[in-house]
Structure 1
Amino acid sequence: MKILATLKPIVLTLCMGLALVLRGHEAEAQSTETLTVAGGCFWCVESDFESVPGVIGAISGYTGGSTKNPTYGDVGKGGTGHYEAVEITFDPVRVSRTKLLNMFLRSVDPTDAGGQFCDRGETYRTAIFVSNADEKTLAIQAIKQAQADLGQKIITPVLDAKTFYHAEDYHQDYYKGTKLVFTRFGPKRQASAYKRYREACGRDARVAQLWGSAAPFAKGH
């Protein structure tokens, strides 16, 4: 009985500690938010935003269209209405939605209605997807500010969020992948192939031309 009496407060303390840890994880999960954007090649958008402090992760996928469970091939053929998009999960205490919106608009060519850089067609158009009125207001404000800063008309639309479908596994974190792939540059590891693609596509050159020192990611590639 003495042993039980001694163990009781220890067990109680351990249980209380475990409860606090679980509550902490639950609070952290509840505090995260998501921002879904389309900015051309989703590899590039994912790569850019996973480098931002406060961003927990980014997932490449498809959204905006009507086709259910689309594949990369389906979207690439056109006619699905889907964009290549990225769902960004972030901690709003560390980075605000407004900051991410501002960074996004300055990481693409928001004046181009036909695609992005070397990637042409409806799949590669830019867009910001919103789930409620507050998100829509912030997106519109960010576009107005970007348009004033750029001095050119921005055509990036603000669209109501639809189902976001995750892209195939091989698209996730492609920019840092190690698998060997065959490209027009010859056999390359994914990370190397990504760098060659990004440079050849002219993404950073065009963004730097448009936004200059305000471009948040062009200098890092």
Structure 2
Amino acid sequence: MSILSRMAVLAAAALVACSPGEPAAGAPAVQSGPDSGRREVALFAGGCFWSVEANFEAMPGVVSAVSGFAGGTVANPTYDQVVRGGTGHLEAVQVTFDPARISYRQLVDRFWRTIDPTDPDGQFCDQGATYATAVFATPAQSGIARASRAAAVAVIGADRFTTPVRPVARFWPAEAYHQDFARLNPVRYGGYSRFCGREARLRAVWGR
């Protein structure tokens, strides 16, 4: 979906999608339970990074989830550059987690259930190359990610499942006003999510 098209759709709903009008300061995700002090990083692209970030921040063992961009060719891109197209980036979220409290496999398994992997062109009301989905995996993570994908494919069907596992790419954080948007702006984000039909579509895809 182009910038102008998306603005028109969201204006009709009196909302703003992944393009907030007023900057909001970020804040760390709340963690519960004992912290082992160990840290690993995972990278996911699942459409609007607000939603991906919110989904992972809610998981015990996740230390932080940062919205940004990955997979492109332009260094340190801005949000405006990415959504205009031509940089090759996807909206992505870098997840830092404590592997003693949650495994990489659990994160990937969770990721599939929060996206529509049958849509190769975007997610929900956010359409276009920027909103394509992917798991960006390191060499050490690749086998785990592919095994998780195979399990998800068994549910959806190989002919419908389009989200790939890609080699890990450089991650660039988005501007501060995008960070923790769903948590800091619950009314605006809730309206956006409902308008985009996320839950209804996820139920249709995953049967939940």
**TM-score normalised by structure 2 residue count:** 0.80
Q: Does 1:200 align with 2:207?
A: no
Structure 1 stretches of 5 or more lacking a match? 1-24, 178-189, 214-221
Matched AA of 1:143? R
- Which one of the candidate residues 129, 147, 165 is aligned to 1:141? 147
Give 1:191's aligned residue. 186
The answer as to whether partners of 1:101 and 1:139 remain within 8 angstroms in 2 is yes
Q: How does 1:121-136 map to 2 (within 5 A)?
A: 121-132=128-139, 134-136=140-142
The answer as to whether partners of 1:143 and 1:154 remain within 8 angstroms in 2 is no
Give 2:57's aligned residue. 50
Aligned length: 173
CA distance in structure 2 between the partners assigned to 1:151 and 1:206 by the alignment: 17
Structure 2 stretches of 5 or more lacking a match? 1-34
Tell me by how many angstroms 1:210 deviates. Answer: 1.0
Root-mean-square deviation (Å)? 1.3
The CA deviation string for residues 88-123 of structure 1, in whole angstroms up to 9 with x for no partner, is 111111111111101101110011101001000010
The CA deviation string for residues 52-79 of structure 1, in whole angstroms up to 9 with x for no partner, is 0111110000010001111110000111
Tell me by how many angstroms 1:203 deviates. Answer: 1.2
Tell me by how many angstroms 1:199 deviates. Answer: 0.6
Tell me by how many angstroms 1:150 deviates. Answer: 2.1
Q: How does 1:170-181 map to 2 (within 5 A)?
A: 170-177=177-184
Give 1:74's aligned residue. 81
**TM-score normalised by structure 1 residue count:** 0.75
- Which one of the candidate residues 70, 74, 79 is aligned to 1:63? 70
- Which one of the candidate residues 137, 157, 169 is aligned to 1:162? 169
Higher relative contact order (CA 8 A, sep 6+): 2
Matched AA of 2:133? T
Tell me by how many angstroms 1:130 deviates. Answer: 1.2
CA distance in structure 1 between the partners assigned to 2:199 and 2:132 by the alignment: 17
